Amino acid sequence: MAKLSIKDLDLKDKTVFIRTDFNVPLNDSNQITSDKRIRASLPTIQYAIEHCAAVIVASHLGRPKGKPTPNLTLAPVAARLSELLGKAVPLAPDCTGLEVARVKPRPGEVLLLENLRFHPEEEANDPDFSKQLASLADIYINDAFGAAHRAHASTVGMISYVPLAAAGLLMDRELEWLGRVTRNPDRPCVALLGGAKVSDKIGVIQNLLTVVDKLLVGGAMAYTFLRAKNEPTGRSLIEEDKIDLARKILASAGAKLVLPSDHIVASELKPGASSEAVTRIGPDRIAVDIGPQTIEQYAQIIRGAKTVIWNGPMGVFEMPPFDKGTVELAKAVAESGAISVIGGGDSEKAIKAAGVSDKITHVSTGGGASLEFLSGLELPGVAALTDKTANSA
């Protein structure tokens, strides 16, 4: 069911509570090392300001374990948000209570609440805490796709106590693209899955096999599958306890699931280790990347695709030259002209390294949330939002 969007609502003179994912990386001096997450929700905040709403922004930051923790204050975020918006963004001393009520913004103004996770009730999805958060707002907006797989007070609980709960512009975009490629993809639709473990992506593999025309597997994950086919894998990273499951997946997937036919192998997993391309992995070798033949085969399938869904690197890409498979396939995704949706994290770094970021349709801002979405699970933070039909009159 489609969810109400901020664009469907009249925000004028309303107090709008925007849940963002401003869980930014900080260095030892408490400086923000990447403001990407703040920029990602800027359009939603600007939209609310332009439509004359009084804006309250809330987020978690790090893991303060339910206690006020000075180095996890949102003060650096307030300062950066203020610079990006070009207007004052005061930081409330807390996220609930009388002091917050006293500093409530007026239409056109923005207030940032202090770290939601300074209260244990946030992660416990406590009803009283949820009510207190809800009492601040006329309208609730969730723009925190990265936190939508968590049922916390600010992502789910408070929605029961506000009249309207809608998706922000970032959340809208995430749901639109992830929804489109998994529900109604242009075909051929190809998934490219890599990374360390089969166990992290079982749900994604099983669900995508019901959606895509081809599922190309790379990364260490491929070696658990090759072992399940009784192929030699040397000292490559394997999940012994997932071999049986891998065998069952292979049997049901048939020709849809494609495994690497050659590999880059090294004698040890360290920078500068000598390596070579092989089709058969020797007993003392570790496979660290897909080989040239596989790169060509996968690139050709990707170039013929109309939709590409990509999650996880094809090799130990943080250790060049073992990034070659990942970077070459990033280029193939860009060249394909397909609708491309990328799961963020390592795959995002790869498209940057390949210099093709501007050719990708959508890079998800939520690692865990996008994996749950691709697994076909309903995200609690999305399910809780108001259905579009219920209010679109």
- Separation CA 133–CA 297 (nearest Å): 53
CB of 282 to ligand AMP, least distance (A): 15
Comparison of 168 and 345: residue with beta carbon closer to ligand AMP: 345
Angle at 128 between CA 123 and CA 132, to 5 degrees: 95
Catalytic residue at 62?
no
Beta strand extents in the chain (DSSP E only): 15-19, 54-58, 110-112, 139-142, 164-167, 189-193, 214-217, 257-258, 263-266, 275-278, 286-290, 307-311, 339-342, 362-363
Site string for ligand AMP, 196-235 (x = CB under 6 A): xx--x------------------xx---------------
Out of 6, 162, 208, 237, point to the residue binding ligand AMP (CB under 6 A).
Answer: 237
Site string for ligand AMP, 157-196 (x = CB under 6 A): -------------------------------------xxx
| Segment lying near ligand AMP (by CB under 6 A), choices 21-29, 99-107, 124-132, 314-322 | 314-322
Catalytic residue at 117?
no
* Residues 6 or more apart whose Cβ sits within 8 Å of residue 393: none
Nearest CA-CA partner of 131 in 156, 151, 158, 113:
158
Nearest CA-CA partner of 330 in 307, 314, 354:
354
Catalytic residue at 368?
yes
Site string for ligand AMP, 67-96 (x = CB under 6 A): ------------------------------
Beta strand extents in 97-227 (DSSP E only): 110-112, 139-142, 164-167, 189-193, 214-217
CB of 170 to ligand AMP, least distance (A): 22
291 is an interface residue for ligand AMP by CB under 6 A: no
CB of 269 to ligand AMP, least distance (A): 7
Site size toward ligand AMP, by CB under 6 A: 16
* Residues 6 or more apart whose Cβ sits within 8 Å of residue 388: 1, 2, 3, 4, 5, 8
Residues 333-392 touching ligand AMP, rule: CB under 6 A, are: 346
Nearest CA-CA partner of 75 in 130, 136, 118, 120:
118
Q: Tell me the catalytic residues.
A: 37, 197, 345, 368
- Judged by the rule CB under 6 A, the positions of this chain that interact with ligand AMP are 194-197, 200, 219-220, 237, 287-288, 312-313, 315-316, 318, 346
